[in-house]
Structure 1
Amino acid sequence: MPTPQKAAQIDALVDSFERSQLTVVANYRGLSVSQLQELRAGLRGADAEFTVAKNTLTRIASGRVGVEIPEEFLEGPTALMFAYGDVVTPAKALTDFVRSSRVLELKVGLMEGQTLTASELDALASMPPREELLGKLVGMLASPMSRVVGVLSGPSRSLAHVLNARAAQLGEDTAAAAD
């Protein structure tokens, strides 16, 4: 039977696993307290959190929500990053921190039942943010419609040019006849 403090930690982890769109398991050995605070502050602005958890409590919490974390990744000092909204921004913040600190080691990522390697997390971090992708999609959807409008208005524009040219020609003929 877990102590009330451990039960509260398990409940908090269960809540985080349930709300999370992306979970990253990392080895935080060698991180200073100031580096850890810097990382947490950077992730907080990206709707994510970075928490240190005991492997046993992580196993219990992930088991309760049906999240499969391979056993080999729950060895040694373990920290978890939970991204609650857009997954790209927190992944980018985390991978940038890994590059700059050279201490934090990403073990595995979990997203929609899939396990992601460190290189796949890098690829995820290099994607444009969700808002930019939506903007590109809207642009691609609007492009064919504007082309259709251009094609449909083309014949009427051509007819207007022909009529203007004919009117100009008739005007020249009338002026020549008057001379």
Structure 2
Amino acid sequence: MSKVVKKMMIDDLQERLADRKDFLVLDISKLDAISNNNLRMELEKKGITLLGVKNSLLRVVLRGAGMDTLDGSLSGPSTIAWGGEDIVGLSREMADWAKKIEELEIKGGAVDGQEVDSDGVTGISKGPSRTELIGQIVGLALSPGATLSGALLGLGGTLAGQLKAIADKENNEDEGGDAA
């Protein structure tokens, strides 16, 4: 491969990966054409992109971006996957596909620019997504206010119930006193 072609490929890869710090490295070389096509079409619907890469070119791009070179993951045929809601969603999706298609192998990846092995990707896939974490944080932030509100409403409800009972009792006495 000539230097000009390598430079063009590196530039294209840099453009595609741009500021991405989260992606996975897969081996889909053992998939047949139909499975490969189905996988790519389903992932495309979810905003996930697959790109077959030459390991040496990816290393150059990663070094240029100041990231680890993923030495543990970049051996043999490699396909990088990125996109989706977040790295947790991407990891979940790829872990699900790896269960469905035995030939699909998750070799590792990068999370915030740091190398993660295949076990790490599996661990990430089991964690909460960004949206779930935000929901948990909001719930924790609102919890003291909800507790205080519930306590005040509970006391207010009890007091209102007692006042109503006293008022009803007085009304009954007034009605009963006029008839006698």
Using the size of structure 2 for normalisation, the TM-score is 0.81
Q: Indicate if the aligned counterparts of 2:70 and 2:110 stay in contact, CA closer than 8 A.
A: no
Structure 2, unpaired ranges of 5+: none
The separation in 1 between residues aligned to 2:105 and 2:90, in whole angstroms, is 16
Matches within 5 A, 1:17-166: 17-83=17-83, 85-166=85-166
- C-alpha change, 1:29 and 1:144, in structure 2 (3 Å) is same
In the TM superposition, residue 65 of structure 1 has moved relative to its aligned partner by 0.7
- C-alpha change, 1:103 and 1:58, in structure 2 (3 Å) is same
The aligned amino acid for 1:144 is P
The aligned amino acid for 1:5 is V
**Which region of structure 1 is more displaced relative to structure 2, 160-169 or 52-61?**
160-169
Q: Output one character per residue of 1:88-120: Cα deviation in whole Å (capped at 9) or x when no partner.
A: 232222222222221122221111132222222
Structure 1, unpaired ranges of 5+: none
In the TM superposition, residue 129 of structure 1 has moved relative to its aligned partner by 4.1
The separation in 1 between residues aligned to 2:156 and 2:34, in whole angstroms, is 69
The separation in 2 between residues aligned to 1:38 and 1:5, in whole angstroms, is 30
SS in 1 for 2:49: strand
The separation in 1 between residues aligned to 2:123 and 2:8, in whole angstroms, is 35
**Which region of structure 1 is more displaced relative to structure 2, 131-140 or 111-120?**
131-140
The separation in 2 between residues aligned to 1:34 and 1:79, in whole angstroms, is 17
Using the size of structure 1 for normalisation, the TM-score is 0.81
Computed over aligned residues only, the root mean square deviation of the Cα atoms, in angstroms, reads 2.6
The aligned amino acid for 2:62 is S
